[in-house]
Amino acid sequence: MKNRSEQLVYELGNKIAIGEITPGEVLPKIEELSEIYGVSRTVVREAFKSLSAMGLIRSNQRAGTIVQPRSYWQWWNIDLLTWVLEDENNKDLLLHLTEVRLGLEPVAAALAATRATDQDLYNITNAFQRLEQTIGDEKAWASADYDFHESILQASYNDIMINTIRVLRRALIISREKTISAAKEITESPYDTPTIEVLDRHRSIYDAILARDEQLASQKMTDLILRVKRILENIYENHS
């Protein structure tokens, strides 16, 4: 259960995230918000501190508290990502997230090909074998697929990249329910569904890493994510 400050952060943050309160707009004064939401001024100040830490607002003695442009927002904050993903009109965020994946995961695969220990290769092999065993079972596949990508990520031994991609995946999981109905209307799903064809795409990444071929590992991961990007673009084009 949220306390009053957390609830106010949600109320204001969500309105900013979905565009109900727009960048450049000046928020009401602390005294006004205190009356509007029936909370103390201290609660409003605490909420402002949290929203400022997310990059959503900035305070200026002359201008007041102003909503920041989206480029200033701390997009790796999972609360912010959740709020934006709840907006049905924000159709481009999943595509943007996938583009960021495209810049990171191929590098992680290449690093895994060069840095993976014997134990890492064992973990990657075990995860891939689980994928093979879950063909046709979407729920089991989703779990095995996460473990497969996670095992590759761990083998990159790049802590910053590991943390960034993990947050990214959490956001992608949240967004899955928001786009799955649209995805069902086309012949391909933007998610890694449990079919032999998609398994083979993963196998090519697995084989490249085991062969210590960093260029091939990067290329095969790029191919996998480009497929997701292409399908998402088709979804948004058909629903624009």
Helix intervals (H) in 41-158:
41-53, 78-85, 93-115, 118-133, 138-154
pLDDT band of residue 217 (cuts 50, 70, 90) is very high
pLDDT digits (tens, 9 = 90+) for 163-178: 988 888 777 776 655 5
Copy the structure tokens of residue 102: 């495209």
Alpha-carbon span 129 to 137, nearest angstrom: 14
Is the pLDDT reported for residue 179 higher than 60?
Answer: no
- Asked which of 74-78, 96-100, 129-133, 137-141 is least confident by mean pLDDT, the reply is 137-141
**Least confident span in 21-30, 134-143, 206-215, 222-231:** 134-143
Rounded-to-integer distance, Cα 125 and Cα 180, Å: 29
Q: Is pLDDT above 90 for 159?
A: yes
- pLDDT score recorded for residue 176: 57
Which has more pLDDT, 228 or 55?
A: 55
Tally of CB atoms within 10 A around 201: 16
Say if residue 205's pLDDT is above 70: yes
* 201's tokens: 């795409």
User: What pTM does this model have?
Assistant: 0.79
Please tell me the distance from the alpha carbon of residue 205 to that of residue 140, in angstroms, as a whole number. Answer: 20
Output the pLDDT for position 43: 96
Q: List, in order of start, the domains of the chain with CATH numbers.
A: 4-72 (1.10.10.10), 91-238 (1.20.120.530)
Backbone angles phi, psi at 60, to 5 degrees: -140, 130
Residue 58 pLDDT exceeds 80: yes
Across the chain, mean pLDDT equals: 88
Q: Is the pLDDT of residue 180 over 50?
A: no
- Average pLDDT (12-27) is 95
In eight-state DSSP terms, residue 187 is S
Nearest-angstrom CA–CA distance, 162 and 175: 20
For the ranges 93-102, 153-162, 175-184, the maximum mean pLDDT occurs at 153-162
What percent of the chain has a predicted confidence (pLDDT) above 70?
88
Least trusted range by pLDDT, from 66-70, 146-150, 163-167, 169-173: 169-173
Neighbours of 190 (CB within 10 A): 25
pLDDT digits (tens, 9 = 90+) for 184-195: 555 555 555 668
> Angle 166-94-220 (CA atoms, 0-180°, nearest 5)?
65
